[in-house]
Amino acid sequence: MPGVVVTGAAGRMGREVLKAIWNAEDVELAGAVDTRCAGEDIGSLLGFGETGLIIDADLEGTLDRRKPDVMVDFTEPRSVAVNVRTALEHRVCPVVGTTGLSREEIAEIIALSEELKVGGLIAPNFAIGALLMIKFAAEAARYFPAVEIIELHHDQKLDAPSGTAVKTAETILERRGDPPRRQVAEMEKLPGARGGEFAGGVRIHSVRLPGLVAHQEVIFGGVGQTLTIRHDSITRESFMPGVLLAVRKVTYLREVVYGLENLLFE
């Protein structure tokens, strides 16, 4: 039974992860890390009585004391890379849901994991439906010449575009290569109105509003028709089956992989 430490435990996603692991019968909650509520019992975050597990402020010390098998990280872009390297150096498998890692940082993490022979996962999205959306979009890209992505998230999300949108664009381009370039000379009356242009001409539009959780549309255009593929995460519970799947499987890996589809569709 893998023991799990959760970093970013006091955040909205962190609390959901704590609850999911606590309630799962085949994984064990070994500890939690968050500077915002260090010293409190984990039960205060879960909404019930004392558990005997105290939230720590120091990740490295927690890994030394608790000796978990897996670290689940839902923190913020500024700290995630350091957290992942710390976990790998302690031979703890990272499961990373924090977005904002650069391509260079991801490559460095994968290289370090290969050197240490420690498995892990960096996932832009843990919702099974979102993975299927990306898979379906990659298939549709074979038949439609143009595509744009609209991603919508809550107003507290720090990075834009989302990791899911970037992963979608990457997967589409891997499947079909660079699309034909638009021949029309565009004029943006308001800079940024056409969104950000990803490699290969795929435009991504980011929306941030209160009331949203995580949503994405992939809109394809062809002669006389359009195709829209959309996924909506209504609550953060939608990500928990994917998180638990990752926790159960990463200890069998010998390197960090990018994308939950590597575990789901293997």
Phi, psi torsion values for 65, nearest 5 degrees: -80, -45
Query: Residue 188 has what pLDDT?
Result: 80
Phi, psi torsion values for 170, nearest 5 degrees: -60, -45
By the 8 A CB rule, do 113 and 88 touch?
yes
Catalytic, out of 90, 135, 154, 157:
157
CA pair distance 137, 145, nearest whole angstrom: 12
Catalytic, out of 19, 153, 167, 249:
153
The answer to whether 3-122+237-264 and 128-234 have equal CATH topology is no
Look up residue 98 and give its DSSP letter: -
Q: Mean pLDDT per segment of 10 residues, for the chain of length 266 residues? A: 94 93 94 91 85 92 95 93 96 93 94 97 94 95 94 92 93 78 72 86 94 96 96 95 96 95 82
Query: Residue 179 has what pLDDT?
Result: 59
Query: Residue 184 has what pLDDT?
Result: 65
pTM over 0.75: yes
CA pair distance 14, 52, nearest whole angstrom: 18
167 is catalytic: no
153 is catalytic: yes
The structural domains of the chain, with segments of one domain joined by +, span: 3-122+237-264, 128-234
Longest Cα pair distance anywhere in the chain, in angstroms?
A: 64
Which CATH number is associated with domain 3-122+237-264?
3.40.50.720
By the 8 A CB rule, do 66 and 32 touch?
no
Indicate the helix (H) or strand (E) that contains 221. Answer: strand 214-222
Phi, psi torsion values for 202, nearest 5 degrees: -80, 120
Q: Alpha helix (H) ranges present in 161-253?
A: 163-176, 240-249
Domain 128-234: homologous superfamily in CATH: Dihydrodipicolinate Reductase; domain 2 (3.30.360.10)
Query: Residue 104 has what pLDDT?
Result: 94
The beta strands (E) that lie in the chain are given as 3-7, 28-33, 70-73, 93-96, 120-122, 146-153, 196-197, 203-208, 214-222, 225-233, 256-258
Query: Residue 178 has what pLDDT?
Result: 62
